[in-house]
Amino acid sequence: MTSLHADEAFLGHYQLSHDPFAPRVPGFKFFPAQRKPVLGQLHHLARYSQLLLVVTGPLGSGKTLLRQALVASTNKQSVQSVVVSARGAGDAAGVLRQVAQALDVATAEPNAILKQVVQLGLTGQEVYLLVDDAEQLDESALEALLALAAGTPEGRPHVFLFGESSLIAELEQISGDQELFHVIELQPYEEEETREYLAQRLEGAGAGIELFSAQQISDIHESSDGWPGTINQVARDAMIEAMIASRTAVKRPKMGFTMPKKHVLAISAVVVVAVAAAWLIPGRSKAPTTAGAPTEQAQLPLGKPTPNVEFANSGQPTNLPMVGQPVMRGPLAEEAGGISEGDDGVPVEGSSATPPTVTTTAPPAGVPAGQPAAKPTPAPTVATAKPAPVTKPVAPAPAAKPAPAPAAKPAEKPAATVAKAGAAGSGWYGSQPSGNFVVQILGTSSEANAQAFVKEQGGEYRYFKKVLNGKPLYVITYGSFSSRAAADSAIKALPAKVQAGKPWPRTVASVQQELATTR
């Protein structure tokens, strides 16, 4: 693999020697199901047929792998194979130039090439001319290849075109009523063939088919429609999804509190002793003798100033008769406030219900005059007449503080949401949670087609670039969903022409893995 760093977590989790579903893997044997009979048919037609041979199938149907197997299975002493790519050189001049260079012909013309083919035939060598991505050939290139396939009475090369089904219509238009070519259409795998294909891929990487359950194999076959290229992608996605789920399950228990029981008992004993010591403080016995003390203790957590604290009017709490009780309650109130504010890591202005209790002792320490600290001053006079009037002045203070807090927090979240929704391309996929799902709509070898599709559909459609069989592929996706069920529901709501392409849900993590590998 070219990027072990991107896949080391994936390979390490399953103890794989390499990615079993990469386009090219070491030591991979040609899968016999349905493709081996086609390979034999190609060899037979190359020997006995005088027609140009065309192999068609959708992207990911295994055309390139079949072409590789055809080259590998020929007798190198009696067959010289010339492989040509129509990508980026789809006209006659580009194709003939590649053929002439491979056959060591000075002039890139059909007649010169045919003369070289005849010379090679005299030495006992046949020429196989194989063209990848043949759907990108223009009319001039197809006419030149048909001329080479027809050859001369002395000799001719065997021409094979591997491309998508759109190639057939172009050849029919050029041929008219003449029978100049023979078409072999690749078929998708059956479910059992999909299972055998998965088993062979996994076995080559040092694993077994037991990594997938029978239901997973059935789902992989259904999502891929039996095409090997899509089987690779869906199977890899399923393995990554299972890896993420298992790692999350392992990490979750570690987040719990697992202190040994003996430590819990020791801490409980310390707490009991501390509470008992609090009740035995000398000042505690005097509390019931003070008039109205029980009422003041009940009001203290609600933020009302105690008459005993303000009555001294000297700003020296060390001379107060109940100094022990505020010392116990003050730190507890502050800790409670600290916990509520520290949960999110951001101070919550309106959540401190207890801080009024702390501020009742703070004004004498230097709070500016004219602020709410001036209102508790009449509190001693009202204290003898019950603290009912004191409750009203304190109420506006908490009511005024929460106002800015709710307005500040929600304002940030919509902004972040808008930023993510406006993102596109690989950067957008990197910003999505890896546990989310996107709906894969289709893949195309033309970025212009991908851009046109996204522009036409708009909305939540995006595309990214990956590499399949060593060639760029532009994959179009739709949306971002928190669960597979949500993605499945979204597929049912897509337009009919989009659903016709059999879209399927895949994890964002799998996309991020592909982007990392492509880079």
Please report the DSSP string for 382-395 in residue order.
Answer: HHTT-SHHHHHHHT
**Residue 23, pLDDT above cutoff 80:** no
Tokens 């063939």 correspond to what residue? 193
Q: What is the CA radius of gyration of the chain?
A: 39
Among 3.40.50.1220, 3.40.50.300, 3.30.70.270, 1.10.3720.10, what is the CATH number of 35-185?
3.40.50.300
Share of the chain above pLDDT 70, in %: 63
Contact criterion met (CB below 8 Å) for 308 and 290: yes
For the chain, give every domain's residue range. Answer: 13-24+191-252, 35-185, 421-518
**Residue 113, pLDDT above cutoff 60:** yes
Banded model confidence at residue 164, pLDDT cuts 50, 70, 90: very high
Banded model confidence at residue 283, pLDDT cuts 50, 70, 90: low
Strand partners, 504: 440
Quick one: pLDDT at residue 1? Answer: 37
State pLDDT tens for residues 168-185.
999 999 988 889 999 999
Quick one: pLDDT at residue 303? Answer: 43
Collapsing DSSP to helix, strand or coil, 413 comes out as helix
**Residue 56, pLDDT above cutoff 50:** yes
CATH class of 421-518: alpha beta
**Residue 395, pLDDT above cutoff 90:** no
Q: What amino acid is encoded at 511 in this protein?
A: V
Banded model confidence at residue 249, pLDDT cuts 50, 70, 90: low
Quick one: pLDDT at residue 274? Answer: 72
Collapsing DSSP to helix, strand or coil, 490 comes out as helix
Contact criterion met (CB below 8 Å) for 476 and 441: yes
Q: How far is CA 52 from the centre of its chain?
A: 44
Cα separation, 33 vs 31, whole angstroms: 6
pTM of the predicted model as reported, rounded to 2 decimal places: 0.52
Of the ranges 15-24, 111-120, 304-313, 412-421, which one carries the lowest mean pLDDT score? 412-421
131 secondary structure, DSSP code: E
Find the DSSP H helices in 312-403.
324-342, 355-359, 379-383, 388-394, 396-400
Which one is predicted more confidently, 347 or 143? 143
Measure the N-to-C terminal CA separation of the chain; round to a whole number of Å.
Answer: 13
Quick one: pLDDT at residue 401? Answer: 45
Contact criterion met (CB below 8 Å) for 503 and 437: no
Backbone angles phi, psi at 375, to 5 degrees: -75, -35
Cα separation, 241 vs 216, whole angstroms: 12
Strand 158-163 to 52-56 pairing: parallel
Which one is predicted more confidently, 22 or 383? 22
Quick one: pLDDT at residue 253? Answer: 52
Section 445-450 average pLDDT: 86
**Residue 85, pLDDT above cutoff 70:** yes
